[in-house]
Chains A and B, each alone.
Chain A
Amino acid sequence: MEQQLFWLWGGIAVISAVMMILKRNPVHSALCLVVVFVSLALLYVLLGAEFLAAVQVIVYAGAIMVLFLFVIMLLNLETEVRSQGLSRVAFKACSLAGTGLLLLLLLGGGAVKALRAMAPEQVSGVPGNTQAVAELLFTKYLLPFEVTSILLLAAIVGALVLAGKRD
């Protein structure tokens, strides 16, 4: 059952990711990205990270993509003009990304082997519930959590200064 669900949601994620980079209308790209995010959230559920799955839907699919759609509508863009010799660029890009993928898989394979040697895999896993996450977040990772607020403050001020200036 879990195996099939993985293939289903992983397949949906990969297909919509490919659609996202192929669609020429940015609104369609954004909607494809929402599908990717939702299927990633479902994969998080499979991995036992339920709280993160909910947060993924709320923050990514709910808030960040709304901001993207807002900006697309603010600018009211026409569909992308295809630049000259795109197919050559696309071919180069795809071969580059493919090489990168191979490299990643090789390196990742080595890393996983090293990890397995260090600590044998405990597939039983940990309960990824909200409480366990919270206990770690508010004790061990307290400083990063507080620094996050400064990051958000910088984001507020920066976005307001950049977007609000009138010339």
Chain B
Amino acid sequence: MNEGYIPILFMLALATAFCVVVVILSRLVGKRQDSSEKLMAYECGNIPTGNARQRFPIKFYIIAMLFIVFDIEAMFLYPWAVIYKSLKLFGLIEMVLFVGILLIGFIYIWKKGALEWGSRNI
């Protein structure tokens, strides 16, 4: 096993222990008084309106889908950045090609109006 992971494991254990200890401690030390206002769903201080489980608009899906696609692009950019210097101009050209093709998709969704948050045809 690689020794490099020991600090990570240590940090993980520390973080877990901290969370567990704090939760247990607050249960043990503090006293609980439940009122209907305290048990209400927390909506940043506003009085909650309507049911929390309502369907929300399709626009969110489009945004999440875009996030995935550009996440994949970032995944390819990391290893590219590591060896960029040894690839020289060749590396630049291949990545420009890759990003360029994805850019066509980006322009498409832009022109289609999927990025506008107001009410449009999407």
Contacts and interface: CB of A to CB of B under 8 A. Distances in A.
Contacts of B76: 137, 145, 148
B55 A75 contact: yes
Interface string A99-139: 00000000000000000000000000000001101110110
B54 A146 contact: no
Interface string A121-165: 000000000110111011000100110111011011101100110
A138 B79 contact: yes
Contacts of B112: 160, 164
Given A59-B72, A138-B91, A155-B69, A164 B60 contact: no
Most chain B Cβ neighbours within 10 Å, of A2, A135, A156, A163: A156
Interface stretch (A12-20, A28-36, A64-72, A82-90): A64-72
B101 A153 contact: yes
Contacts of B62: 159-160, 163-164
Contacts of A76: 53-55
Given A70-B64, A145-B94, A164-B112, A1 B105 contact: no
Interface string B51-94: 00111101011101111110111111011101100110001001
A137 to B, nearest CB: 6
A76 to B, nearest CB: 5
Interface residues of A, number: 42
Nearest to B83: A134
Contacts of A148: 72, 76, 98
Interface string B99-112: 10110111011001
Nearest to A142: B94
Most A Cβ at <10 Å: residue of B82, B94, B109: B82
16 contacts: A70-B61, A70-B64, A76-B54, A131-B82, A134-B79, A134-B80, A135-B83, A137-B79, A145-B94, A145-B98, A148-B72, A152-B101, A156-B108, A160-B108, A160-B109, A163-B62
Interface of B: 1, 5, 53-56, 58, 60-62, 64-69, 71-76, 78-80, 82-83, 86-87, 91, 94, 97-99, 101-102, 104-106, 108-109, 112, 114, 121-122
